[in-house]
Amino acid sequence: MATDPVEQVTVETFPAVGAAELLVEAKRLAELSPGPDLPYLSATIDLSPEGGSPNRRPGREVFDRMVAERIAEMSAHDPARLGLEATLGRAAAALDRLDPSSRGALVVCGGPDEVAETIPASLPLPNRLTLGPTPSLLDLVRLADDESSYAVVIADQRDAEILLVSAASPELQISVEANEFPRKQMQGEWSQRRYQMRADERIEAFARTLAQETRRLVESGRAAHVVIAADEPMRSTLKHESHQIVTNKLVGEVGVMLGAAPQSVVERTRPVVDAAERARESEAAKAVQDGAGPGGRSVTGAVETLTALQTGQVKTLVMNDDFQARGWADFALGSYGVGEPPAEHPAGGDAVDLRPVALEQELVRLALLTGAEIEIVRTTAPVGPDEATRDGGDGRTEAARLLDGLGGVGATLRFTLASDRSTAEM
């Protein structure tokens, strides 16, 4: 049996906020108490530096302007305005202290508990501000979903690196160094065969270590995909030594040299992972379509999806990234509906407690609160010329068009209520 060739395993971390961390933060913000009378100000910000001036970030000025305009629209003695003014200073100070590598941020202020939250992101977020009874979390969740974490295994027969990429930025790098055992000795045919046998054993042992490290990342939920960058015979040996759970996450192979700068590895592998993300979105939309119908394992459209979320039935919320609709909520009673608030309370409460909401935001918040997975379907991903011509050239992805026909939103279910009915009567 060959001696274990691995001599050293080192781990380096990078100042990046991973997709999993973004979802944890989104869930925490979703759990904040609704504020029908003391609303939350939610702002997403593009913190990309301007041209050759890395310290100048126009988005920071845009944030100040958006806030000033919204505050000016409110009465000077409005309790909601006073609550926001009490928290904005803290949020702005936190914004100015963010790591320079941050390219975006979500700021949430106000609410019943006068929170001041600033969540950094490794990629830009759109400059947008909303004021509502709950935090607006869709943009943060969309970023986490669209830029899910993946592992890149870069290896030759002596050294290897496993780069964990999240939100399009390096998050973690595991470096594995090996010795040169066995040393080649020219002493006849038998020695040559023995040398080759030992060399093969060494490659297998080295690949086994890489496979184990990769498996840990996958099983911990830190890597949703795996990309391999290795030449033969290491590539085939690595695949052979990998557990099925890793093989199931393998989405492609690329040519990347050991020692390449982490950001260049990201740029080289993103197209492969983007294609895998689009395929996953198509599968999610198809699952919604195939399971629809009375007693089926999916629901379509805003009304059925909202109902299923309220009853905790949703396994995966699937929604186009441009879906928008009006809705209403009575947060005290936990009652929700689609459209404008009705004149009479559907649940027998006071109609004055029915507050208008952006339905797309509430769908995402309810999904976070009930532990549902969220699949935000990208609607305008690039497509090839042949596909654009065949499908009318509207620029929308296959998954988005499929979901358009189902009302722009749907969900797969954990369970149904009866053979002839998937959801409750709300």
pLDDT tens digits, one per residue of 68-119: 999 999 998 899 898 899 899 999 999 999 988 889 999 999 999 899 999 9
Question: What are the residue ranges of CATH 3.30.420.60 in the chain?
Answer: 6-16+149-260
73 token code pair:
């629209």
Q: What is the mean pLDDT of residues 277-287?
A: 95
Question: What are the residue ranges of CATH 3.30.1330.30 in the chain?
Answer: 279-413
pLDDT tens digits, one per residue of 185-205: 555 454 656 655 566 677 788
CB-based contact 411:288 (threshold 8 Å): yes
CB-based contact 278:298 (threshold 8 Å): no
CB count within 10 Å of CB 332 equals 11
CA distance 412 to 305: 9
Q: What is the pLDDT of residue 389?
A: 37
242 token code pair:
């990998």
Question: What SS3 class is residue 109?
Answer: strand
Average pLDDT, the chain: 87
CATH number attached to the domain at 279-413: 3.30.1330.30
pLDDT tens digits, one per residue of 120-179: 998 899 999 999 999 999 999 999 998 889 999 998 877 889 999 987 888 889 988 876
Give the CATH number of domain 28-144; options: 3.30.70.1150, 3.30.360.10, 3.30.310.50, 3.30.960.10.
Answer: 3.30.960.10
The closest alpha carbon to 326, from 132, 94, 173, 184, belongs to: 132
Write phi, then psi, for 141 (nearest 5 degrees): -65, -40
Which superfamily, per CATH, for 6-16+149-260? eRF1 domain 2 (3.30.420.60)
pTM of the model: 0.86
pLDDT band at 231 (very low <50, low <70, confident <90, very high): confident
CA distance 15 to 77: 42
pLDDT surpasses 80 at 16: no
Write phi, then psi, for 219 (nearest 5 degrees): -65, -30
Question: What are the residue ranges of CATH 3.30.960.10 in the chain?
Answer: 28-144
**Dihedral-angle region of residue 192 (phi above 0 means left; psi in -120 to 50 means alpha; beta otherwise):** alpha
